[in-house]
Structure 1
C-alpha cells in the first residue's frame, strides 16, 4: 500500500502543540500523535468528504450512475442514507456563464413537471447561453430570456407568437429563421403523410424538399422551390377555392365552408413564411458571410431538450424544486468550460444558504413578501389573500 504523506504540520486539538506522524490506519490514512498529552487521531477533512458527496450526487443526477453505485461511492448502503448525506447538494444552484456575442442563436421551450423551460443555445456548437423558467411560452418570459443574451445576427425558432413578439421588441429588425423541421411537421399535420388528393401529394412533396439540403440548399434552388410553389398555386387555385354547402332540413339554415381547408392552411402557411422572410433566411448571403445560419433547431432539440427529458423520466417523482435543479445542472454541464467542483467549493466556503435561497424565493419588486397576505391596517375588512392578491405561482421564475 502506498502511504500518502502530508506536508502540513498538525496541531493537537487539546493542547495546541505540534503533533508527529504515528503510522497509518487500516484504511491508509495518516495517524497523528501528541507527545505532550498523548492524544492520537487522524486529521478530519470535512471539505474532502463534502466534495466526494457532491461528486457522487452529481453523477447520479446526470444519469451516469444509479443510486446504489452512487451510495457505495461514499460508503453508504441504503438509498435513505444517500439521500440524507447528499441533501445539502440540492441547495447548490449553478449559474450559466455570461454569454458571449453569438452569430446565430437557437431558442425553444420544453415542458416538464408543470413548468416550461426556455433555452437559448449557440447554433454553432450547441452550448447553452441562457435559461428561463416560466409557466407558458409567453412574451414576458421570452423577454426575460433575451435580456441576458447579446444581440445575435440571426435567431432560429419554432415560430411561436410569444417568441416572435419578444424578438421584435427586444431586438428590432432581427432576422428570424423559422425551423424548417417544424414547418414540415405542421404541413404533415394538415395534409397527413399520405395525402389522398393529387394536389395534396404535390404540396407535401414541396414541403419535404425544404428539409433536403441537397435539393434546396442554395439560393438558386430556393428560388426554384418558390417558383414551383407559385406554379402549384396557379394550377390549383380553383381547387383550393372549392366550397361545400350544407342545408339543415329542419331549419333551412345554409352553411358553407372550404372543401380543402387543410390544404389551404398548409399553402398559406408556406406563403406567409416566405413573405415574412423567415423561410430562407439561412441562405441569405449577407448573413452567411459572418458564419453559417442554422435552418433547424436540431442542435437544441437533440443536444439539450432530449437529455433534459431523459433525466425527468429517469428521476420520475421529484419535487418541482429538485426537478428544476437537475435540469439546471444538465444545462450547466453542457457549457463550454463547466467546473462543478468550483461551484461546490464556493458554496461550502459561504456556508449554509439562507432559507429564502433554499426555496428559490423571488421577492416581488417593491413589496415585502411577508406582508402580502396580511390585513391592511387602514381597512381591516379587506383580506388580501381572499381578495386574490396573495402570493401566486406564475411565469416569474428566475434566469440563469
Structure 2
C-alpha cells in the first residue's frame, strides 16, 4: 500500500535547518531526521488531532453514534478518556447564519434543564431562523428573538400572552394564526375527551372539526363552521348562563357560580380567537397569494423540538451549559448549509479554546431526568405538557 508523502518542509527544532524524511514509524507516521545534529522525530499536528476529535464528538452529540464508537474513532477505549479528549469541543459554540425573510414563521418555546428555548423556524421547509434562551416565555425574551429575524407576513404560535405582546410591540398589525392543534388541546382540557353533557359533546365535535382540513379547509367551510358555532350558542345560551347557589355552613353567606364554567371557557375561547382574526388566518386568499400558511406548529414541534428532546433523553449528566450547547448544535445542523468543521477550525485558529469550567460535569450519554417541561405562566390556557414531559398526578382511570 502506497504511503501518502507529506509535502510540508520540516525544520529541526534544535538547529533550525531543514530535515529529511527518514522512513515511517510502526503506526505509519512520517519520521524526520536532521543531518546536521542527528535529531530525529515525527512532526506533531495538533490541529489535525483536534479536528479528528471534533469529528468524533459531533456525531455523538447529535445522537448518530454511540459514545464507545466515537471513542474508538480517535483511539480511545473508555468513556472517561473520550470525555477528557473532547472536553475542548464544548467551547465551540455554533451561530445560526443571518436568516432570510420568510413568508410564514412558526414560533414556540420548550423547557429543558430548567431553561426555556424559544425557536423560530420557516414554516415552508422547517429551517431554524433564530433561537433565544430565557427562563420563561415572557415578552422580553420573545422580543429578543424577533429582533433577529426579518418581518414575515404571518406568524403561527400557541397564543401565549408574552408572545402576542411581543408581536404587537415589534410588528404592529402582524397577522397571527393560532395553532389549531393547541386550540383543540385547550378545548379538550376544559371539556375532556368525553364530555358528560350533550352541549359539551356538540362543542367538542365542533372543536375537532378545526383540525380536519377536509371538513374545514376552505373559506366556505370556515364560514359554515362559524355559522354552526353561532347556532350552538343560540341553542345553549340559557344552558351556559345557568348558575349554582350554595350556602356556606360556617358563615351563612350564599355563594354563586356558573354551573358549566368549563364549557363557557371553551366557547368564549373560540369566539375570542375568531373575533381577533387568529382562527382562520391560514385561509386568507391575500396571504396565500404569497405562499401557503400553516395552521399548526407541527413543523416546529416534530422537526426541531422532538430531536432536541430526544437528545436530552440520550445524554445523561449534562450540565446546563452543555445541555444548551447540544440544543444549539442540533439547531445549527438543521440550517441550510451547516459547516461545523469551519467553526471548529476558526476556534482552533483563534487559539486554545477556553477550558472546561470547574462546575461543568463531563457529559455521558443517557437520560437527564431533570429535564421536566415547566408550565408557561404567561398563559395558563396553553397546555405545556403536550409532549408527555409533565409530572402526572392522580388516578389514571378517573376523568372529570
Query: Aligning the two structures, in what range does the TM-score lie when normalised by the shorter sequence?
Result: 0.7 to 0.9
- The reply on whether 1:66 has 2:69 as its aligned counterpart is no
CA distance in 2, matches of 1:220, 1:22: 83
| Residue 171 of structure 1 pairs with residue 171 of structure 2 | yes
Comparing 68-77 with 226-235, greater Cα deviation is found at 68-77
Higher RCO structure, 1 or 2 (CA under 8 Å, sep 6+): 2
2-side partners of 1:3 and 1:80: how far apart? 33
Distance 1:86 1:332 in 2: 19
Q: How far, CA to CA, are the matches of 2:72 and 2:359 in structure 1?
A: 29
What's the CA shift string for 1:225-284, capped at 9, x where partnerless?
111111111111111111111123453311111111111110100000000000000110
Confirm or deny: 8 A CA contact 1:91 1:358 kept in the other structure.
no
Q: Secondary structure of the residue that 2:105 maps to in structure 1?
A: strand
Going from structure 1 to structure 2, the CA distance change for 1:129 and 1:357 (only over 3 Å counts) comes to farther
Quote the residue 1:108 is aligned against.
108
Which residue of the partner structure matches residue 134 of structure 1?
134
User: In structure 1, what is the equivalent of residue 216 of structure 2?
Assistant: 216
Aligned CA distance change for structure 1 residues 242 and 300 (closer, same or farther; 3 Å): same
Match of residue 317 from structure 1: 317
Q: Any conservation in 1 of the 2:177–2:282 contact (CA below 8 Å)? A: yes
CA distance in 2, matches of 1:139, 1:84: 40
SS in 1 for 2:316: coil
Q: Give me the whole-angstrom Cα distance separating, in 1, the residues matched to 2:356 and 2:122.
A: 32
Relative to structure 1, the CA distance from residue 355 to residue 62 in structure 2 (aligned partners, 3 Å threshold; closer, same or farther) is closer
2:271 aligned with 1:267: no
**CA separation in 2, counterparts of 1:21 and 1:352?**
30
Contact 2:88 2:354 in 1 (8 A): no
CA distance in 1, matches of 2:120, 2:358: 26
**CA offset digits 1:200-234 (Å, max 9, x no partner):** 11111111111111111111111111111111111
Is the CA contact 1:307–1:330 (under 8 Å) kept in the aligned structure 2?
yes
Alignment partner, residue 45 of structure 2: 45
How far is the alpha carbon of 1:356 from its aligned partner?
Answer: 12
Aligned to 1:366: none
Change (3 A) 1:358 1:350: farther
Paired residue for 1:288? 288
1:356/1:47 Cα in 2 relative to 1: closer, same or farther (>3 Å)?
closer
Change (3 A) 1:196 1:302: same
Provide the C-alpha distance between the structure 1 equivalents of 2:180 and 2:314, rounded to a whole number of angstroms: 30
TM-score by length of 2: 0.86
Q: Aligned partners of 2:292, 2:269: CA distance in 1, in Å?
A: 25
> What displacement does 1:119 show?
0.7
Report Cα offsets for 1:288-337 as digits up to 9, x if no partner.
Answer: 00001111011111111111111112223211111111111111111111
Cα displacement (A) at 1:354: 5.9
- Measured after TM superposition, the shift of residue 110 of structure 1 is 0.5
Aligned to 2:237: 237
Question: TM-score, normalised on structure 1?
Answer: 0.86
Aligned mates of 1:331, 1:287 — CA distance in 2: 28
The aligned residue for residue 394 of structure 2 is none
The answer to whether the 8 A contact 1:116-1:135 is kept is yes
Q: CA deviation at 1:359?
A: 9.9
Q: What does residue 256 of structure 2 align with?
A: 256
Q: Give 1:374's aligned residue.
A: none
Question: Within the alignment, does 1:159 sit opposite 2:156 as a pair?
Answer: no
**1:55 is paired with a residue of what secondary structure?**
helix
Rounded Cα–Cα distance in structure 1 between residues aligned with 2:294 and 2:152: 13
Alignment partner, residue 203 of structure 1: 203
Q: In the aligned structure 2, how far is the partner of 1:84 from the partner of 1:249?
A: 68
Distance 1:2 1:356, change over 3 A: closer
Aligned alpha-carbon RMSD (Å): 1.9
User: What does the per-residue CA deviation read over 1:92-139, in whole Å, with 9 as the maximum and x for residues that have no partner?
Assistant: 111111111111111111001111111111111111111111110000
For 1:75, the equivalent position in structure 2 comes to 75
Q: Give the unaligned 5+ runs of structure 1.
A: 361-400
CA deviation string 1:57-102 (max 9, x = no partner): 1111111122211111111122221111111111111111111111
- Residue ranges of structure 2 left out of the alignment (5+ in a row): 361-400
